[in-house]
Amino acid sequence: MRVTTISTALFALASTAVSAPTAGSSSPGLEVKLTQIDNTRVKAVVKNTGSEEVSFVHLNFFKDAGPVKKVSVYRGQDEVQFEGIKRRLRSSGITKEAVTSLGAGETLEDEFDIASTSDLASGGPVSIRSHGFVPIVVDGKITGYIPYKSNDLTVNVDGGKAAKVTKALSQLTRRTEVTDCKGDAESSLTTALSNAAKLANQAAEAAESGDESKFEEYFKTTDQQTRTTVAERLRAVAKEAGSTSGGSTTYHCNDPYGYCEPNVLAYTLPSKNEIANCDIYYSELPPLAQKCHAQDQATTTLHEFTHAPGVYQPGTEDLGYGYDAATQLSAQDALNNADSYALYANGKHVPIIPIWCEQLLTDNSYRAQVLNVNDTSYSLFRRGCT
C-alpha cells in the first residue's frame, strides 16, 4: 500500500456497547421497486410499508447523489464490476442532510444510470437487484436497522448507448498533488495502519482455529471453507496495512476527489484500489475504541481495505452497518460484508478490561467472572454492563 497526499501497545477493548434494536416484524419496512426507464437508466421507488414514520440514513442508499452502489448488476451468474465509491458513515452525530423521513405509505423516488458505474458496453441482458439494511436514525444516532430488498429487474442493454454514458469516476480529478501524508494526519494514519495490521492478524488466527461459536456469531456458520476465506482476507489486510511504500492500494490522508460529506469517515474506490480518509476520521474517531463494536480509526481502515479487490478478491460490500445489522445477515452476505470483518476483529481479540462499568467495579463476584475472559463471561459482561 502506498500512502499519498495530505490526504505502542494496543488499547484494551471492552464489550460495553449497547445493542440497538433491529427492525422486526412490528417495525417499519422498506419495499424497493426497480423499473427500467430507458436502456441503462433505472428508477427506484422506495416505500415505507410500515404504520409509522421512519427516518433513515440515505447515504450509500437510494437518494444519495454520489456514485455509490445502489444496485448489483449481474451478467448471468457473474457480477459486473462496480466502478463507483463505497463510503463508511459515522454512527452518531449524523446531520439532517443525510437523513430521509418517510411517513406510513410514503415513497421516495430515485433515478440513476447503471452504466455510469459499470461497464456495459458489450450490451445484452443483465439483471439488477438490491438488498441489505438501511440505518434508522433518532436524534442523529443510529438506533436500529430496516432490512430492504428489491425485485429482480432484467434489462436488455444496448451496448452502443451504454458506452456513451459518462462514467462517474472518469470525471474525478484530484484537487491536490502532494506526494505524502504530513503532520498529524500522517501520524494518525501510521498508527491506524499498525493497529489495523495487528487486529487483522489476531482475527485471522481466531478465524482459522479459534472459538467456533464466536466465529459463528459474526459469520453465521462454522464451515471450514468460510473460516479459511475469512482468515485469508484478514491476513491480506494485515499485509497491506503493514506496508506504506508498496502493495496494491493507494491510501490518501485526505479527500482528493471531493466525496467526504459531513457524515462520511472514509471511502474506497474499489475499481481503482484507492482509499481516502475524511476530516472526521481524525477529529471524531479514537485510534482504538474503548467499547467493543464501537467505531475507531483502526477498524475503519480495516473496513476500507476489505473493499479493495487489490487486497483480496472479491472486494466486500456494505450490506449491514454495525453489530446488530451485520449479525442478522446470512452466512453468504456476512462473508461479503465489510463491517463483519471490522466487528469480528475488534469484538473478541483484544484483552477486555472494562474498568468503567459500575457493576464490574462494585461486584467482586461479577468482576471475577468477567476478568476470566471466555465466551461465557463475555456474554455475561455484555448483559450486565449496558
pLDDT band at 381 (very low <50, low <70, confident <90, very high): very low
Residue 324 within a domain: yes
**Any binding-site annotation on 339?**
no
- Asked whether 136 and 56 are in contact (CB, 8 A), the reply is yes
pLDDT, tens only, 21-52: 444 445 568 999 999 999 999 999 999 999 99
Q: Annotate 288-325 with DSSP letters as a single string.
A: S-SSTT---HHHHHHHHHHH-TTTSSSPPB-S--HHHH
- Exposure of 179 by Cβ count < 10 A (0-12 exposed, 13-18 middle, 19+ buried)? exposed
pLDDT > 90? residue 359: no
Number of domains the chain contains: 3
pLDDT of 267 = 97
Residues 61 and 159 in one domain: yes
322 and 198 within one domain: yes
Cα separations in angstroms, 192 against 34, 241, 361, 385: 40, 9, 31, 28
DSSP secondary structure, 166-201, as one string: PPTGGG---S---SS--HHHHHHHHHHHHHHHHHHH
Residue 136: inside a domain: yes
303 is in an annotated binding site: yes
Phi/psi at 35 (5° precision): -135, 155
Is residue 128 located within the same domain as residue 162? yes
**226 with 309, same domain?**
yes
At 254, the pLDDT band (50, 70, 90 cuts) reads very high
- d(C-alpha 146, C-alpha 331), whole Å: 18
The residue segments making up the domain with residue 155 are: 30-169
Cis peptide before 314 (omega within 30 of 0): yes
Are residues 298 and 364 both part of a single domain? no
pLDDT in the model for residue 180? 57
154 and 230: one domain? Answer: no
Share of the chain above pLDDT 90, in %: 74
Of the residues 144, 169, 194, the one at which a domain ends = 169
Q: Is 135 exposed, middle or buried (0-12, 13-18, 19+ CB in 10 A)?
A: buried
Query: What cell does 69 get?
Result: 452502489
- Beginning with the edge strand found earlier in the chain, give each strand of the sheet holding 78-79 in spatial order: 78-79, 72-75, 124-129, 153-157
Within-domain flag for 25: no
Shared-domain flag, residues 196 and 342? yes
293 marked ligand binding residue:
no
Euclidean distance between CA atoms 90 and 72, whole angstroms: 24
151 and 98 in a common domain: yes
Query: How confident is the model over 165-211, as pLDDT tens digits?
Result: 999 987 655 443 333 588 999 999 999 999 999 999 999 999 999 99
- Domain CATH code at residue 70: 2.60.40.2970
Would you name the residues annotated as active-site residues?
Answer: 304
* Least confident piece of the model among 148-157, 181-190, 193-202, 356-365: 356-365
Residue 13: band (very low, low, confident or very high) from pLDDT cuts 50, 70, 90: very low
pLDDT tens, 320-349? 989 999 999 999 999 999 999 999 998 754
- Choose one of 142, 169, 196: the last residue of a domain: 169
At 13, is the secondary structure helix, strand, or coil?
Answer: coil
> Do residue 265 and residue 379 come from a single domain?
no
- The secondary structure element, H or E, covering residue 274 is strand 274-277
Angle formed at CA 379 by CA 373 and CA 383, multiple of 5 degrees: 125
Host H or E run for residue 74: strand 72-75
Q: Based on the domain organization, do 151 and 281 belong to the same domain? A: no
Q: What is the CATH number of the domain that holds 181?
A: 3.40.390.10
pLDDT at 347: 79
Residue 235 reports pLDDT greater than 50: yes
Which residue, 10, 59, 56, 8, is CA-closest to 29? 56
